[in-house]
């Protein structure tokens, strides 16, 4: 094979494999209680496989190809960062000294000026923006069949015209 093609194949294949081993996801399955006589007992077997210690998963250092679920520890660890970015720590109350700056509702952050035309001619760049459309006012008469059941609409519509 061509050396270039082989290199491309290796690069494509490397996107299917994580950089480092990902932590195992703990996903306990429910136990069946349909045929059990004393359903409050835990019927799961004792695990014999020890948990393998892995490094903490971060998106910047360890690539997850997305074929499996990412370790939940990275999401749990980043909840505080997401909360800070969404500004959910600051409580807004009336009469309280605000610890965070909240812009006025009259600032340019909240006011959007849209160029419009008061004459109705529209803007030069968008001539059809304010055009008034005219539609015909023809309405077909409501038609209902004469019979309760077995209305042959093809014949009845032919007789209407």
Q: How confident is the model at residue 122 (pLDDT cuts 50, 70, 90)?
A: very low
Is pTM beyond 0.85? Reply is no
Interval 20-26 mean pLDDT: 81
SS (H, E, C) 60-128: CCCCCCCCCCCCHHHHHHCHHHHHHHCCCCCCCCCCCCCCCCCCCCCCCCCCCCCCCCCCCCCCCCCCC
pLDDT tens-digit series, residues 54-71: 888 887 888 888 766 777
Q: Which residues, at least 6 apart from 137, have a Cβ–Cβ distance to it below 8 Å? A: none
């Amino acid at each position: 094979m061509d050396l270039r093609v082989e290199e491309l194949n290796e690069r494509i294949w490397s996107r299917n494999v994580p950089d480092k081993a990902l932590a195992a996801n703990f996903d306990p399955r429910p136990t069946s209680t349909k045929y059990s006589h004393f359903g409050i007992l835990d019927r799961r077997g004792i695990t014999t496989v020890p948990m393998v210690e892995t490094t903490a998963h971060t998106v910047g250092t360890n690539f997850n190809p997305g074929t499996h679920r990412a370790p939940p520890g990275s999401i749990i660890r980043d909840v505080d960062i997401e909360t800070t970015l969404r500004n959910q720590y600051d409580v807004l109350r009336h009469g309280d000294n605000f610890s965070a700056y909240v812009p006025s509702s009259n600032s340019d952050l909240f006011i959007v000026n849209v160029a419009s035309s008061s004459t109705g001619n529209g803007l030069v760049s968008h001539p059809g923006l304010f055009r008034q459309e005219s539609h015909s006012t023809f309405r077909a008469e409501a038609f209902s069949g004469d019979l309760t059941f077995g209305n042959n609409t093809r014949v009845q519509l032919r007789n209407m015209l």
